[in-house]
C-alpha cells in the first residue's frame, strides 16, 4: 500500500487502505465511531465507504448541510450537541468523509470535543485530497472571514481514494486542480509543465500523489507555519480576500476556493515581477494557463476596494503588516514579502486588463 508521511500522520492511498482502517478501528476498540458527512457525501460516498469497511463497528452518521456558507461555529455547536446526545466519549472517534468543508470542520469539531478525540480524514473532492485533508489545518470561518478560528492538529491518518471523484462535478474538480497547479508553481516546474496543458489527460492518480508529496514535504519541515509552510499560501493572500468578499454576496455570486485562488495566483504572479524577479514570460505563461482553465471574473472598482479592506484579516499578517508569498521563478517561492498599496492596485488592474 502506498503511503506518504506528513509531520505526525500519514496519507494512505487506494482501496487497500480500508483494511488498515478496519484493523486500526478494531485495535483501538472505539466506544463509538461518528461518520461525519454532508448530504452529498452521504448520498454519493457513504455507501461506497461502508461497502469497503469490513467488520462490525459501532457507527453513527452525523450529517450537516453542505457548503462553505455552513463552515461556521454555529454548525459546530449543533454537531457538538449531537455528539453529546449520541454519547460520544473520549474513547470515540470521528471519520470525516467529505470535501474540505467536512475535513476542516470535522477535524476542528473532533479536536475540541472533550479536549480532543481521534479523527480520520477521507477526502472526497480533489481539493481535499491534494490539500485540505493533509497537514492538520482545521477550522471554520468567522462571518465572511475565511478560516479565522481553528487549530493545527493532524488526523490519525488520511485515506486518499480517487474512486470518490467519479460523482464530483467538473467545476469542483477544477477547483481542486488549482491547488495542484499551485504546488507546481511553488516548488516543481516540471510538475507545473506536466499539469498545465493536460487537465483531462494527465494521469490524475499519479498527480494526486505528487501533490500530496509536495504538501507533505513542506508540512514536515514546518508543521506550525513559522516559515517555509507559508509558501503553500501562494495566491491565497489576495485569493482569500476575493473569496471572502464574493462569499459575502451570497451563494450565487460565490467563487469556489480554487477559482478564487486562481485569481490570487495571477495577481501575486504579477506582484512577483515587481518584487522578486519573476520574468514577464513566466507571468504570461501563468496568467494564460489560469485564465484558460478558470476564465475571467469581473472585478469592479467597488469589489476591489472591499476585497482589499479584507486583507487586514489575513492570517499571515503580523504587527499590522500584510505579508505575501511571491515567486522568484516558476518552481521557487519566497515568503514574507511586503507590498506597497499602489502595486496592489496595479495587480487588480493587471488582472482586469487580461
Ligand atoms: N485545511 C487546509 O489546509 C485547506 C486547504 C485548502 C482548502 N481548505 C478548505 O477546503 C474548503 C473547500 O473544500 P472543497 O472544495 O472540497 O469544498 P466542499 O467540502 O464544500 O465540497 C464541494 C462540494 O462537493 C460536494 N461533494 C464532496 N464530495 C463529493 C463527491 N465525491 N461527489 C459529489 N459531491 C461531492 C460537497 O457536498 C460540496 O457541495 C474550503 O473551506 C477551504 O478553506 C482547507
Ligand atoms: Zn487553498
Q: Structural domains in the chain? A: 3-167 (3.40.50.1970), 170-353 (1.20.1090.10)
- Tell me if 244 CB under 6 Å of ligand 1: no
Q: Output b/e per residue, 20-47; b: 16+ Cβ within 10 A.
A: ebeeebeeeebebbbbbbbebbbebbbe
pLDDT of residue 201: 53
Phi first, then psi: what are they for 21, rounded to 5°? -65, -45
**45 Cβ contact list (under 8 Å, min separation 6):** 37, 97, 98, 122, 124, 164, 167
Grid cell locating 26: 478494531
With beta carbons less than 8 A apart as the criterion, state whether 347 and 267 touch. yes
- Tell me if 135 CB under 6 Å of ligand 1: yes
- 353 C-alpha to center of ligand 1: Å? 31
pLDDT truncated to tens, each residue of the chain (354 aa)? 899 999 999 999 988 899 999 999 999 999 999 999 999 999 999 999 999 999 999 999 999 999 999 999 999 999 999 999 999 999 999 999 999 999 999 999 999 999 999 999 999 999 999 999 999 999 999 987 889 999 999 999 999 999 999 999 999 999 999 999 999 999 999 999 999 877 665 568 889 999 999 999 999 999 999 999 999 999 999 999 999 999 888 888 899 999 999 999 999 999 999 999 999 999 999 999 999 999 999 999 999 999 999 887 777 777 778 899 999 999 999 999 999 989 999 999 999 999
125 closest CA partner among 170, 93, 94, 75: 170
- Tell me if 129 CB under 6 Å of ligand 1: no
How far apart are the two ends of the chain, measured CA to CA in Å? Answer: 45
Alpha-carbon span 101 to 104, nearest angstrom: 5
Q: pTM score > 0.85 for this model?
A: yes
- 133 C-alpha to center of ligand 1: Å? 9
- 114 C-alpha to center of ligand 2: Å? 29
Which residue minimizes the CA distance to atom 22 of ligand 1? 99
- Residue 70 has a CB neighbour count (10 Å cut-off) of 16
- Tell me if 121 CB under 6 Å of ligand 1: no
Give the three-state DSSP class for 54. Answer: coil
Q: Where are the alpha helices (DSSP H) in 230-318?
A: 236-248, 257-275, 280-294, 301-310
Which residue minimizes the CA distance to atom 7 of ligand 1? 132
- Tell me if 40 CB under 6 Å of ligand 1: yes
Amino acid at each position: 500500500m502506498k503511503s506518504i508521511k506528513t509531520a505526525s500522520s500519514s496519507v494512505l492511498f487506494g482501496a487497500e487502505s480500508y483494511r488498515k482502517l478496519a484493523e486500526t478501528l478494531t485495535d483501538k476498540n472505539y466506544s463509538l465511531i461518528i461518520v461525519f458527512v454532508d448530504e452529498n457525501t452521504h448520498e454519493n460516498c457513504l455507501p461506497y465507504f461502508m461497502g469497503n469497511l469490513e467488520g462490525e463497528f459501532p457507527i453513527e452518521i452525523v450529517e450537516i448541510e453542505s457548503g462553505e456558507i455552513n463552515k461556521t461555529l454555529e454548525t459546530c455547536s449543533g454537531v457538538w450537541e449531537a455528539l453529546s446526545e449520541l454519547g460520544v466519549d473520549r474513547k470515540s472517534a470521528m471519520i470525516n468523509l467529505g470535501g474540505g468543508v467536512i475535513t476542516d470542520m470535522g477535524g476542528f469539531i473532533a479536536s475540541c470535543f472533550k479536549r480532543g478525540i481521534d479523527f480520520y480524514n477521507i477526502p472526497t473532492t480533489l481539493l481535499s485530497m491534494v490539500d485540505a485533508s493533509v497537514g492538520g489545518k482545521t477550522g471554520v470561518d468567522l462571518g465572511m472571514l475565511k478560516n479565522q478560528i481553528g487549530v493545527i492538529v493532524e488526523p490519525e491518518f488520511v485515506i486518499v481514494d480517487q474512486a470518490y471523484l467519479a460523482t464530483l462535478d467538473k467545476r469542483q474538480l477544477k477547483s481542486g486542480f488549482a491547488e495542484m497547479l499551485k504546488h507546481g508553481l511553488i516548488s516543481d516546474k516540471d510538475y507545473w509543465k506536466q499539469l498545465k496543458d493536460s487537465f483531462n489527460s494527465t494521469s490524475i492518480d499519479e498527480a494526486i500523489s505528487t501533490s500530496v508529496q509536495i504538501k507533505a514535504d513542506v508540512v514536515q519541515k514546518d508543521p506550525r507555519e513559522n516559515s517555509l509552510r507559508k509558501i503553500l499560501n501562494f495566491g491565497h493572500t489576495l485569493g482569500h480576500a476575493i473569496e471572502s468578499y464574493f462569499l459575502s454576496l451570497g451563494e450565487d455570486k460565490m467563487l469556489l476556493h480554487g477559482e478564487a485562488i486562481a485569481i490570487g495566483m495571477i495577481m501575486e504572479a504579477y506582484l512577483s515581477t515587481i518584487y522578486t524577479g519573476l520574468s514577464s514570460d513566466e507571468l504570461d505563461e501563468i496568467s494564460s494557463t489560469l485564465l484558460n482553465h478558470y476564465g475571467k471574473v469581473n472585478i469592479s472598482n467597488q469589489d476591489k476596494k472591499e476585497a482589499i479592506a479584507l486583507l487586514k484579516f489575513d492570517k499571515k499578517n503580523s504587527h499590522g503588516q500584510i505579508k505575501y508569498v511571491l515567486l522568484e521563478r516558476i518552481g521557487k517561492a519566497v515568503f514574507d514579502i511586503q507590498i506597497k498599496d499602489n502595486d496592489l492596485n496595479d495587480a487588480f488592474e493587471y488582472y482586469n486588463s487580461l
